[in-house]
Amino acid sequence: MKRILVTDGLHAVGVDALRKHGLEVDEAGTLAEADLAARLGAYEGLIVRSATKVTRAAIAAGGKLEVIGRAGAGVDTIDVEAATERGIVVMNTPGGNTTAVAEHTLALLLALTRRVPAADATLKAGRWEKSRLQGVELFGKTLGVLGLGRIGSEVARRALGFRMQVIAYDPYLTREAAERLGVEPVELDELLARADFISIHAPLTGDTRHLLGEAELARVKPGVRLINCARGGLVDEQALADAIRAGRVAGAALDVFEQEPPPADHPLLGLEQVIATPHLGAATDEAQTAVALAIAEQVADALLRGVVVNAVNLPSVDAETHREQAPWTGLAEKMGRFLAQMAEGRMQEARLVCSGEITGHPTAPLGLAFVRGVLGTILSEHVTDVNAMLLAKARGLRVTETSTTEAPDYASLLAAELRTDRATSSVAGTVFFKREARFVQIDGFALEALPQGWMLVFANLDVPGVIGRIGTLCGRHGINIAGMQLGRERRGGRAVSVLNLDDPMPPAVLDEIRGMPDIVFAKLVRL
């Protein structure tokens, strides 16, 4: 039974869902790095929210760890690079809290424009300060959205309902996609100069940290108001405090901070122009239920069925596509394992060509499975789809994966090559009846071999008696031949044969075959 550690108070529906899948679940509160590292070695899965920091040291202690799930969208609290190096899938639930965060953004926007928190506080303190607390309207104002992903798009839709003009900066979104939302795409400098309100909805990365810093805040439209329900590190908080005190920024509403909780002497908390909430964007009953159920299902699928959805460090496919592609990914991995055992010399390039109907689905998982098969055969490290390309690059193995809709003789075909400093080996395969994988070509020789178990692969000159001598030798040593396939270029030329064996062939017997007349090479492969 696989075990999962759940921290940060995941909603009970998620924990129950994991247990219903037959997984053993242990719950903990927010864990410090040392406490997490001390516990993580016993688990295949880890689920966190936003409080527990999954550091490189903690990941290194998780020797059995296969998947880290984030109940929410942001993964800046997880060292994704360290997880990738160790072959661990990192997944999130990007859609579960979209509505909650978008609505919280609008709540802060309205509270900021009408000065609701200050009005509430002064009235409860016994003061009637109606004239001092005059606000502004949203109608006709310009909202600048930084990041037009799921949440940013929902904020834009709601702002349009208030009859605001919405402009957006998102370097990864096409102009056509923005315009379909009724949003005007602009560059960052134009957004800063035109926006009456700026709402941030970008992920926190090395490139986006302090996206709004001192230089950017110096270029904003005077009197702008800022809302941040994304990540604290996106804003230089000291620079924002200085801009508010200088009067360039009229106010800010912040749900997130670089340090959470922020220290009592934080420069923004003492300003009346600032509204602050304790990271409540996703804190609704509906959102927490949705993300808990989503991450539970995703982690269970990954651990129990190998289906990976919403991975941030791995191409993901949906469950139906995974089922359809399973025979092909299995074939691709076996082709990699086969070539790794056939090859001699230092590996230089691994190449996979996907042809025919199979290209109607994403082919990246096939390329990963192929490389995983190659490297998993020769390396002592744990090789997974997550770290396969990273390990290949580290070892100087060039990997290419191409696709074509043309597949002569077959509806779909995978063709692979492994080039070393000595020679190039190749194999091609297909899947019959949506489930039966076969090798249909080895080193250019057409045949139909079953890729499983022990396989004796040999090339010989096509002369009488070779097959008989090998059969006699196997019989003399008690090695049962389960199947045989032969391919040849022409009569009297060269031939390649594959024998499926019930048991491994002793090295001495293999050496005897290699010493036979007319044998070019002989290899024992296990798939």
- Return the minimum-mean-pLDDT range out of 214-223, 420-429, 487-496: 487-496
Using the predicted structure, report yes or no on whether residue 522 has a pLDDT greater than 90.
yes
Using the predicted structure, report yes or no on whether residue 281 has a pLDDT greater than 80.
yes
Active-site option among 39, 158, 201, 231: 231
Better pLDDT: 362 or 34: 34
One-letter amino acid identity for 208?
T
What mean pLDDT is predicted for residues 372-396?
88
DSSP letter at 262 equals P
The pLDDT tens digits of the residues spanning 364-374 come to 999 999 999 99
pLDDT of residue 203: 86
Q: Is 305 a catalytic residue?
A: no
Better pLDDT: 440 or 390: 440
Using the predicted structure, report yes or no on whether residue 303 has a pLDDT greater than 80.
yes
The pLDDT tens digits of the residues spanning 103-120 come to 999 999 999 999 999 999
Q: Which of 9, 11, 7, 17 is nearest to 299 (CA)?
A: 17
Cα 278 to Cα 84: distance, rounded to the nearest angstrom: 31
What contacts 24+ positions apart, CB below 8 Å, involve 162-168?
A: 162/138, 163/138, 163/139, 164/138, 164/139, 164/140, 164/197, 165/140, 165/141, 166/142, 167/142, 167/143, 167/191, 167/194, 167/195, 168/144
pLDDT of residue 204: 86
Exposure of 45 by Cβ count < 10 A (0-12 exposed, 13-18 middle, 19+ buried)? buried
Largest pairwise CA distance in the chain: 108
What contacts 24+ positions apart, CB below 8 Å, involve 262-266?
A: 266/237
Paired strand residues for 55? none
Using the predicted structure, report yes or no on whether residue 25 has a pLDDT greater than 90.
yes
The pLDDT tens digits of the residues spanning 49-100 come to 988 999 999 999 999 999 999 998 888 899 999 999 999 999 999 888 899 9
Active-site option among 158, 279, 419, 488: 279
One-letter amino acid identity for 304?
L
CA 449 from chain centre, in angstroms, equals 34
DSSP reduced 3-state for 186:
coil
Q: Is 44 a catalytic residue?
A: no
Domains of the chain: 3-95+286-305 (3.40.50.720), 98-276 (3.40.50.720), 317-447 (3.30.1330.90), 452-527 (3.30.70.260)
The pLDDT tens digits of the residues spanning 312-336 come to 888 777 677 778 888 999 999 999 9
Per-residue confidence band for 447, with pLDDT thresholds at 50, 70 and 90: very high
SS3 letters for 284-338? CHHHHHHHHHHHHHHHHHHHHHCCCCCECCCCCCCHHHHHHHHHHHHHHHHHHHH
Cα 221 to Cα 226: distance, rounded to the nearest angstrom: 11
pLDDT of residue 324: 85
Q: Cβ(92)–Cβ(299) under 8 Å? A: no
Cα 86 to Cα 64: distance, rounded to the nearest angstrom: 10
DSSP letter at 359 equals G
The pLDDT tens digits of the residues spanning 105-158 come to 999 999 999 999 999 999 999 999 999 999 999 999 999 999 998 899 999 999
- What percent of the chain is modeled with pLDDT above 70? 100
What mean pLDDT is predicted for residues 506-522?
94
Hunting for tokens 């994304």 — which residue is that?
230
pLDDT of residue 176: 86
- Return the minimum-mean-pLDDT range out of 263-267, 327-331, 433-437: 433-437
Active-site option among 81, 179, 187, 260: 260
pLDDT of residue 356: 94
Q: Is 324 a catalytic residue?
A: no
Mean pLDDT (the chain) is: 93
Tokens of 255: 């749900």
pLDDT of residue 408: 79
pLDDT of residue 206: 81
